[in-house]
Structures are given as C-alpha cells and as structure tokens.
Amino acid sequence: MKRDLITFLSLFFISGCSVNLVAQTLSATEIIKKADEKFKGEQSGYSVMTMTIVRPGWQRTIEFKSWSREDDYALTLITAPAREKGQSFLKRKNEMWSWNPSINRLIKLPPSMMSQGWMGSDYTNDDILRESSVVDDYSHSIEGEETINGLQCYKIRLTAKEDADILWSSQIWWVDKKEFIVLKAELYDEDGYLVRTETASDLKIMDGRLLPSLIELVPAEAEGQKTILKIVEMKFNVNIEESFFSQQNMKTVR
C-alpha cells in the first residue's frame, strides 16, 4: 500500500510538472493565437448572434449571421429587425463593402469608416469585418496572471506594431489558462486612454468547444451605454469557398 501511494504521488507530481512545463513553453503570441482561433476556427467559421444596443433612453436588438475564411474574407447578413433585414457587409482582403436592399445600393467602405460604430452599436466596423489581426498586427507580452470569475488567466498586453494601421494602440487580454477563452479585454487609444472594456460570461459548448455565449461591451466614457452580444450558434472549420465572399452573394445570401 505504501509503495502504491508513493508511486501515485510520484506520477501525480510528474504529471503536474509536465502540465506546468507545457504552459510555460507557450509564448504570449501563441496564447493570443489560440484565443483568436477559439472563436474563428483555424480556417473558417459561421455564427448566429443577437446584439442588443443599450442607451440611457432606449434599446434595440439586431440579429445577424456571419461567415469568415481565415483573416481575409468575411460576410455578415442582418436577419432582423424587418426594416434592416437583408443588409450585408463584405470584406475581401483589404476591401470592404455594404449592401442595402431597401435603396438597392452597394457602397465601398473606406478605411476611415472602420472606426465607426457598426449598426449604431459600440462595436466598430473593424470588429465585425475583422480588418485588423490581433496575431499579426500586434506584439505580445505576458504581464502576469490574474483570476477572473474564479478562473486562472494569463494577463497579456497587445501593443500595436509601428507599421500596423489599426484602431487600438494597445489592448490587455485576460485569457483563461485551460480553455484559452478571453474572459476580459481592455482596449486603449493612441494616447493610452481606456476606450472600452469587454467581459465574457455564460460558458457553453458550441460545436465541441467551450465558449462564452454572452459578451458585454461597455464604453469607458459613456454612462448608461453598452452593447450586449449573445452568441446563439457557432460552427468551425466549415467548408466555405473563397467565391462565397462576393458582391453578388451579398445580395442573395440567406
């Protein structure tokens, strides 16, 4: 019995050391990449979401679907409410368009519009169309570890590279050490001021992955204002051809 106990403790200790060693070998960039792929899939992704825009005197909800392929292609379709149903947004590499069926008009979005609020929310066009890459456009460093909602997290600083044309000069992410879920994020402008905070909660299994189904975005200087994103469905590494992301498909996708 004593020998069995010693053997068990030895194996437990060795196993624990191995897990810690693996965790220690992950660089900050590898952790960010894992967290990014958690939502997008390694190659492609599909999602169904609702977004509630909350303002001091009112609120409204928008429903939409999104498809993505790597970092270069994205298509988002508004499915509700009725007055905005059918609007779509397309990204192909560095070019972006919006389609409004009510006026039968296709508009190319200039880079200057990426910082504007998408559909009147606190999310930007860049957030929805993913113009920038948290992996390629930032350098990354681990600043320590903290606990968020009882989960141990890496605290990682993302600093914009000098040649990157992106909205946020820096970000701080709290990434769960076990599942690589971003449980909290702070985004800062070029002067180092906090612009918004995002928190994730209500973890659920979607397409075999544990993910937060609720994300709340709160602007730093807008009292009583926030945007709540509810993830209804997510699928990963689905078969989506590059040809799917076309101006013609913007008008017909359902």
In a domain, 2, yes or no: no
In a domain, 174, yes or no: yes
Question: What residue numbers bound the domain in which 54 lies?
Answer: 21-252
In a domain, 11, yes or no: no
Predicted pLDDT of residue 231: 96
In a domain, 16, yes or no: no
Cβ neighbors of 250 (< 8 A, separation 6 or more) are 75, 88, 89, 90, 97, 99, 106
205 beta partners: 210
CA–CA distances in Å: residue 107 to residues 90, 164, 254: 10, 25, 20
Cα separation of 143 and 174, whole Å? Answer: 10
Tell me the two tokens of residue 196. 């918004």
- Assess contact for 47 and 155: CB atoms under 8 A: no
Q: Give CA torsion, residues 128, 69, 212, 30, to 10 deg.
A: -110
Regions of the chain where pLDDT drops below 70: 1-24, 130-131
The CATH number that applies at residue 172 is: 2.50.20.10
172-205 burial code (b ≥16 CB/10 A, e <16): bbbbbeebbbbbbbbbbeeeeeebbbbbbeebee
Quick check: helix, strand or coil at residue 121? coil
In a domain, 131, yes or no: yes
pTM: 0.83
In a domain, 211, yes or no: yes
Predicted pLDDT of residue 18: 38
Predicted pLDDT of residue 39: 80
- Assess contact for 137 and 161: CB atoms under 8 A: yes
Number of structural domains found in the chain: 1
In a domain, 4, yes or no: no
Quick check: helix, strand or coil at residue 228? strand
- Residue 34: CA atoms inside 13 Å, Cβ hemisphere, count? 18
Angle at 25 between CA 24 and CA 27, to 5 degrees: 95
Predicted pLDDT of residue 131: 63
In a domain, 220, yes or no: yes
- Assess contact for 192 and 170: CB atoms under 8 A: yes
